[in-house]
Structure 1
Amino acid sequence: MVSRTSRDTAVGQAVVGALMLGCAALGPFPSPVPLLFAIAAVGTANAAFDLMRTFGSALLGGVAVTSIGLAAVPFATCSTERFTDVFSCTGDAPTWHMTGAVLVAGLSGASLVLARIAGTGSVDRRLARIQHDLDALRDRR
């Protein structure tokens, strides 16, 4: 039986995943931000299932940390003449890079919270099932 909480978290995970894929496909973000969005979407899809929740959460955590680490890199590299070929330094590319990296981190964090809520609900359901089985065994005596 699926409880309301697990259904709500699954819908939340689907919305967060769709936002990530939409940002990766349609956003004006320079490389490697769309790749971070795609990896985070894979982590969100994995975190929605009991069997893969740990892997998905680890993937989401890694993407969040990586995106925060990469958020300011274009500003540092574009401020010197030597490293301008590492990231696109034309126009608003550094600003869009930082915006996209922060969005990836935020959406990954939201997905991690939803995965945690779903995991807690799963444990609660298992404990309730065990308690029900124990009560049934006691009633047989």
Structure 2
Amino acid sequence: MVPRTSTETTVGQLVVGAIMLGCAAAGPFPSPVPLLFVIAAVGTANAAFDLMRTFGSALLGGVAVASVGLAAVPFATCSNDRFTDVFTCAGDAPTWHMTGSVLVAGLSGASLVLARIAGTASVDQRLARIQEDLNAMRGRR
């Protein structure tokens, strides 16, 4: 396995976040999918930094779970005339809703993986510094 630096994972997080924001701004997704993309992008931005990695990962996990849960809801609500005002039911809106929900869940998962890699690399770097300090202290005696 090739060790990754925090710079590589930060660039990966930047790319995933840009894709999320692009999908929110330019995608043909009905509400609330663009909001899920924006929340996931905020989680991705937080997960890129050591201090906020836990909060960002929690936010990304929540968005992924919510996206999976919301993926098929328009198909259920649009099949009943009573709930057609909850989600947009015209044309391909339910299909785009499901597509966007699955896409935001996948991108959130990818960002979670990058956050985990960055966290592991950060811990490895700290342990290496501690080991160097211990070796330096042993060499002085």
Distance in 2 of aligned mates of 1:12 and 1:106 = 14
- Structure 1 residue ranges, 4+ long, deviating more than 2 angstroms after superposition: none
Secondary structure at 2:5's aligned position in 1? Answer: helix
Structure 2: gaps (5+ residues): none
Q: Contact 2:4/2:121 (CA < 8 Å) preserved in 1? A: no
Matching residue of 2:91: 91
TM-score by length of 2: 0.97
- For the residues of structure 2 that align with 1:71 and 1:15, how far apart are their CA atoms? 24
Identical columns (%) = 85
CA-based RMSD of the aligned residues comes to 0.9
Secondary structure at the residue paired with 1:29?
coil
- Give the count of matched residue pairs: 139
- Cα distance in 1 between the residues matched to 2:46 and 2:84: 36
Task: Give the drift of 1:5.
Answer: 2.2
Instruction: Compute the TM-score of the two structures, normalised by the length of structure 1.
Output: 0.97
Distance of 1:74 and 1:37 partners within structure 2: 18
> How many angstroms apart in 1 are the aligned matches of 2:76 and 2:82?
11
SS of 2:31's equivalent in the other structure is coil
Q: For residues 43-85 of structure 1, what are the alpha-carbon distances to aligned partners after superposition, in whole Å with 9 as ceiling and x for unaligned?
A: 0000000000000000000000000000000000000111000
Superposed CA deviations along residues 60-115 of structure 1, whole A, max 9, x for unmatched, are 00000000000000000000111000000000000000000000000000000000
